[in-house]
């Protein structure tokens, strides 16, 4: 697109220079001499095929140059304009067709509302965890962020994620997971309410800056709430008191490198054992809708229907885990 604009400007300037150099062969109906302004004016109306007729070539040489040089430049100029218009229309049609095709097939996808620092990190973790780019849809008000998401193979919707029509374009009603990483807590609450109005079954994970707003988000329908400012502050405190502990915590939070936290189903090798007897360090046991810490006496022994939150080295990750 930019190259086409430069080419069109170059053709215009070249035409104006040709007219100015042969200005003695042109006549202005106002009687004024042909200057640079008139030369650019004539080039513009000629290349655009407007042709008011107030400036005309009168000498044989000027008419010959118009026939052999200016006319081909006019054709080239029009081809550039038409080509640019067709390119824009084709790209727009292609994007609309791609979106309609995607909407007709998408099911159980993940919608990420807000593609800033937090949203981008969430997407990166999902991709490292095995999610395909085609299964992630990003919603953001900034077109440049959506363009960046598209370059990574993600689907994108430009708009305010707290508005129902925008979330409908992201097919949030069919989504399995919704990640809300709004920059303002009140926006996060409104977005959560809108998501829940459209989808009752999805897992909704939301981020807030202030801990006092976390209960409000849960009441709005968030399945899980992450308090970004408190978490960052706690890490800063831990890093000040115990730098090595802080490194381990950051390692656990960085998926795909070193140690990682993950949830997995209990297997036959785990069943009947206490959490401390499992090969991998068990931090929590999920039984039904209840999450119990590893030292909760109510766990007793692990059951096959349990899910375990464990610490694992990426080098010891089981195939398919």
For residue range 45-92, list pLDDT tens digits in order: 888 777 777 888 888 888 888 888 888 888 887 777 777 777 767 766
What is the spatial order of strands in the sheet that 110-113 belongs to?
155-158, 136-140, 110-113, 177-180, 203-208, 224-227
pLDDT over 90, % of the chain: 34
User: 205 is written with which tokens?
Assistant: 């994970």
State the DSSP code for 288: T
CB contact at 8 A, 182 and 205: no
Q: Tell me the CA end-to-end span of the chain in Å, nearest whole number.
A: 45
- The alpha carbon torsion through 297, 298, 300, 302 (nearest 10 deg) reads -120
What is the average pLDDT across 96-123?
82
Which pLDDT belongs to residue 315?
63
- DSSP secondary structure letter of residue 70: I
**Whole-angstrom Cα distance, residue 157 to residue 171?**
10
Q: What is the pLDDT of residues 179-209, one digit of tens each?
A: 999 989 999 999 999 999 999 999 999 998 8
* pLDDT per position as a tens digit, 266-294: 999 999 999 999 988 999 999 998 999 99
CA dihedral in degrees (309, 313, 314, 315; nearest 10)? -140
pLDDT value for 266: 92
Number of Cβ within a 10 Å radius of residue 22? 19
Q: Where are the alpha helices (DSSP H) in 157-242?
A: 164-169, 185-198, 214-220, 228-241
Most confident of 84-88, 228-232, 242-246, 296-300: 296-300
pLDDT-derived band at 99, boundaries 50, 70, 90: low
> What residue spans of 48-132 are helical by DSSP H?
60-65, 71-105, 117-128
pLDDT band at 96 (very low <50, low <70, confident <90, very high): low
* Residue whose entry in the numeric block shows the structure tokens 């965890």: 129
Average of per-residue pLDDT values in the chain: 84
Q: What span, in angstroms and rounded, lies between the C-alpha atoms of 222 and 204? A: 5
Strand pairing category for 203-208 and 177-180: parallel
pLDDT range class, residue 316, cuts 50, 70, 90: low
Q: Whose structure tokens read 């801990």? A: 211
DSSP assigned state of 235:
H
Check whether 13 has a pLDDT greater than 70.
yes
């Amino acid at each position: 697109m930019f190259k086409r604009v430069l080419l069109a400007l170059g053709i215009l300037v070249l035409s104006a220079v040709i007219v100015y150099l042969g200005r003695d062969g042109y006549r202005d109906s106002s009687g004024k001499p042909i200057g640079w302004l008139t030369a650019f004016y004539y080039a513009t109306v000629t290349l655009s095929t407007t042709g008011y007729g107030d400036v005309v070539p009168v000498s044989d040489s000027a008419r010959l140059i118009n026939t052999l040089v200016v006319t081909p430049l006019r054709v080239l100029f029009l081809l550039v304009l038409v080509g640019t218009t067709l390119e824009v229309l084709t790209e727009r049609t292609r994007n609309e067709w791609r979106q309609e095709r995607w909407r007709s097939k998408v099911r159980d996808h993940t919608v990420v509302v807000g593609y800033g620092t937090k949203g981008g990190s969430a997407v990166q973790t999902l991709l490292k965890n095995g999610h395909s780019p085609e299964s992630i849809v990003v919603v953001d008000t900034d077109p440049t962020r959506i363009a960046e998401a598209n370059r990574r193979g993600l689907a994108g919707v430009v708009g305010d994620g707290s508005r129902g029509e925008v979330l409908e374009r992201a097919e949030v009603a069919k989504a399995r997971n919704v990640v809300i990483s709004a920059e303002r807590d009140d926006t996060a609450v409104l977005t959560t309410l809108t998501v829940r109005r459209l989808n009752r079954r999805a897992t909704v994970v939301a981020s807030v800056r202030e801990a006092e707003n976390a209960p409000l988000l849960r009441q709005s329908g968030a399945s899980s709430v992450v308090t970004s400012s408190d978490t960052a502050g706690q890490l800063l405190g831990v890093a000040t008191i115990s730098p090595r502990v802080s490194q381990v915590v950051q390692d656990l939070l960085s998926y795909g490198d070193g140690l990682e936290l993950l949830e997995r189903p209990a297997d036959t090798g785990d069943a009947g054992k206490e959490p401390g007897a499992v090969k991998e360090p068990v931090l929590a046991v999920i039984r039904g809708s209840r999450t119990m810490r590893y030292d909760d006496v109510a766990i007793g022994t692990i059951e096959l229907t349990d899910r375990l939150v464990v610490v694992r080295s990426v080098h010891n990750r089981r195939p398919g885990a």
